Amino acid sequence: MDAFAIIFPDFACIALGVVLRRFLLTEERFWVGVERLVYFVLFPALLFRSLANAPLALGDAVMLIASGALVMGVGFVLVFALGRWVGDEPLAVASRAQCAYRFNTYIGMAVAQQAYGATGLAWMGVLCGALVPLANVFAVGSMARRSPGGMRHLIANPLVLATVAGLLFHAVGGVVPQPVDALLARLAAAAVAIGLLAVGAALTPARDLVRSGGLIATIKLVVSPALAWLLGQWLALPPLPFAVLVLFAALPSASSAYILASRMGGDGPGVARLISLTTVVSAVTLTFWLGLLATH
């Protein structure tokens, strides 16, 4: 399938979310409720079902997770090494820097499923679920020293819990009963579409932060996937985990970066604009990386 055709449905959903938020469903409380529904119910159901039923090799999963963690770590180090280009105030730098290494799980799961089916979805679920805690450690750790009570924000995550439950269920050879599987399938089907609509509704026009935006978008959407490509080749990852690793590294920044920055007294508005910038630009860069993977 053509790379643009793969990402079109997902980014069309994001665009629809923008339109709905602007013209039809304009109340912020509605979208807060939607995000909570996706975060606490729909995506955990999607993760658990995809992992419980997936044919995954443990050794490949460990290598994939370790590779993803290394790519995130390089992004983290690189953005702070160039911190003077990100901002002047330490807490603002730490909050904006999240956008160079955090990842949008909703878009990742949607693109992986569209490109590589149920197995691709499962591999992306393993990777995202395993690295959400690391992303939180990086983000909270860098801001905690500059925010009162910052470490209180490092709490259990429903996506992590669903990932662990799905992997354990799979490891013990569990079989999901058909009626339960049908329920999870309904919730999983809703998760992708509603999650992408919520991404679009959260977008904020990015008219400033040109210097930091250009740097962070380059690290997140160009440098990180290029590193993932080289690392995956060096480790000789199997084709599907290799592709998922590159796509994971090429994902735009996560909306959770804005939530954390706001709660910890950072530059919430600036982070929101950076998230929007990386999301819009990723429509082009993800098309590029998918096209490159198709010829690999």
Residue with the larger pLDDT of the pair 32 and 150: 32
CA proximity to 115, closest of 226, 229, 244, 16: 244
Q: What are phi and psi of 26, to 5 degrees?
A: -90, -10
Per mean pLDDT, which of 62-66, 139-143, 261-265 is the most reliable? Answer: 62-66
Confidence of residue 293 (pLDDT cuts 50, 70, 90): very high
Query: Per-residue pLDDT tens for 231-254?
Result: 999 999 999 999 999 999 999 988
User: Residue 247: its pLDDT value, please?
Assistant: 96
Q: Is the pLDDT confidence value at 203 over 70? A: yes
Tokens of 79: 């953005």
Residue located via tokens 């980014």: 11
H or E element, residue 224: helix 224-235
Distance CA 49, CA 175 (A): 10
User: Residue 68: its pLDDT value, please?
Assistant: 94
Residue with the larger pLDDT of the pair 221 and 258: 221
CA distances from 20 to 27, 193, 197 (A): 10, 13, 8
User: Residue 220: its pLDDT value, please?
Assistant: 93
User: Residue 70: its pLDDT value, please?
Assistant: 95
CA proximity to 216, closest of 262, 279, 165, 269: 279
Residue with the larger pLDDT of the pair 4 and 285: 285
Q: Which domains does the chain have, with CATH numbers?
A: 3-289 (1.20.1530.20)
With H, G, I as helix, E, B as strand and everything else as coil, classify residue 122. Answer: helix
Of 46-60, 123-137, 270-284, least confident by mean pLDDT is 46-60
Distance CA 201, CA 66 (A): 33
Q: Is the pLDDT confidence value at 105 over 60? A: yes
Confidence of residue 264 (pLDDT cuts 50, 70, 90): low
Residue located via tokens 């962070």: 216
Check: CB of residue 69 under 8 Å from CB of residue 220: no
Q: Is the pLDDT confidence value at 255 over 80? A: no
